[in-house]
Amino acid sequence: QIGLTEEEIITRISTLLDKGLIKRFGVVVRHHELGYQENAMVVWDVPDEQVHEIANQIKPYPFITLCYRRSRQLPEWRYNLYCMIHGKSRINVMQLLEEMVSEHNWHDIPREVLFSKRRFKQRAANYMSHAGCN
């Protein structure tokens, strides 16, 4: 519809990335409309020396859409690794989580499963330069 071949589009996007004019190129998927009615943030209390290893094992799963580390906020919040699981139902989400936990024998790693209660509008990240920060 825009009169360019796939190769031309990829070349133009690559050029923009190389010049630093765009940071990344991605899509926002509306999971709910695709039948994925439930999502849960799984928060893990992973030993600090294992965070990167475990995160790298979590990320390849197709049902994981986010995986990142955050600082603990002790004593109130001990969790330091977060991942988002999308599923067709809560049971499906829990089955996917159990599959991953069993495959890696992570039964002893403390975690909580936090299901979403409401949906927020999804939109792209808003980047600003350091000059724009006060």
79-123 per-position pLDDT tens digit: 999 999 988 999 999 999 999 999 999 999 999 999 988 766 666
Q: What is the pLDDT of residue 78?
A: 98
> For the whole model, what pTM was predicted?
0.69
pLDDT band at residue 131, thresholds of 50, 70 and 90? low
Q: State the burial class of residue 83 (Cβ atoms within 10 Å of its Cβ: 0-12, 13-18, 19+).
A: buried
Q: Which residues pair with 124 in a beta bridge?
A: none
Please say whether the beta carbons of 60 and 76 come within 8 A: no
- Determine the topology of domain 34-115 in CATH: Alpha-Beta Plaits (3.30.70)
Q: Give the residue from 39, 55, 57 showing the smallest Cα distance to 47.
A: 55
